[in-house]
Amino acid sequence: MNTDVIIPYCIWHYIDLETNTFLGYISGPRKYKKDGVIGFDCKKEETKYSKWFLAGTFYAVSPSFRPIPVGMKIFCAKKNIESPYNTSDMYLMHDPYNIKEDCVYFTTYNQPVPNTSPLYFHLNGKNVFPSFDSKPPSSWSPSPISPVFVMMSKYENFKCINRRCIPWTSDIPLLYDVDPHKELYPLENCVIFCNGLTVSKNKGKPLNILEMVKEEEKSNSKIITIIIFLVFIAITVIIYNKIGFNRK
């Protein structure tokens, strides 16, 4: 598996309860190589963040990974280049080729997905406080894009569910899938598999997910029609028998 596809991101906090100060900052990981193996970890810049502490980590897809997986978006955690060097804004990146130096980019799910956790962004002026706690500091408000949904560990296996690659550990109960597949893949392979047209239905001809839903609706409609017809026949027979019995 490509080690650069799913990488950790670091959440830093500075909290001073006496002054009611809450500052947050999302940073990318430090990349290193040890014994020939590439790794990532969280290491703060002591000159700027000496009083900050690591509040948490999460895993997301590298913003350079293409194609962008279905169900994911690229987000920008805008850095304040001046003191206090916090994250000053969070927004959705609409142009993946317009890269700005004052952003920490990461790609993740914008809707709930199994095996992910919500990451909240609390907003107060030009200060964004990222946290896994849904309750913001007093007088703060949620960011318009809050929450996003991130992985809490580095998953090696993904499964294509309804054209989205879902981090996978075991079967998920009550999960609706219009065209189930058993295969598990690393994310980069899952995206290729999931983006392709499904050929397991429609007599071997390409069939996209909307067509699959329509086909399933037609199938369900036929079953309902048959049930209604059988019920009608049964009622007719019962009524006929009653009429015959009364005549006797």
Higher pLDDT, 54 or 208: 54
pLDDT recorded at residue 212 = 58
C-alpha span between 173 and 180 (Å, rounded): 13
pLDDT recorded at residue 156 = 92
**Residue closest to 62 by CA, chosen among 3, 1, 4, 149:** 4
Q: Tokens 């069939």 — which residue? A: 207
**What proportion of the chain, given as a percentage, has pLDDT over 70?**
84
pLDDT recorded at residue 219 = 62
Residue 13: other Cβ atoms inside 10 A: 17
DSSP per residue, 10-29 = EEEEEEETTTTEEEEEEEPP
Q: What is the mean pLDDT of residues 132-157?
A: 91
- Write the Ramachandran bin of 36: left for phi over 0, alpha for psi from -120 to 50, otherwise beta: left
- 82-110 pLDDT, tens per residue? 889 999 999 999 887 788 889 999 999 99
Comparing 118-127, 174-183, 202-211, which segment has the lowest mean pLDDT?
202-211
Please check the confidence at residue 247 and state whether its pLDDT lies above 50. yes
Q: List CB contacts of 195: < 8 A, sequence separation 6 or more.
A: 67, 70, 163
Higher pLDDT, 141 or 44: 141
Please check the confidence at residue 130 and state whether its pLDDT lies above 60. yes
- Tokens standing for residue 204: 């071997």
Give the mean pLDDT of the chain: 84
pLDDT recorded at residue 181 = 78
**Residue closest to 3 by CA, chosen among 247, 187, 135:** 187
Residue positions counted in the chain: 248
Kindly indicate the confidence band of residue 128, based on its pLDDT and cuts at 50, 70 and 90: very high
pLDDT recorded at residue 191 = 93
**Residue closest to 196 by CA, chosen among 93, 78, 67:** 67
C-alpha span between 166 and 154 (Å, rounded): 13
pLDDT recorded at residue 197 = 46
pTM, full prediction: 0.75
Comparing 51-55, 84-88, 94-98, 128-132, which segment has the lowest mean pLDDT?
94-98
- 165-196 pLDDT, tens per residue? 999 988 777 677 777 778 899 999 999 988 87
pLDDT recorded at residue 180 = 77
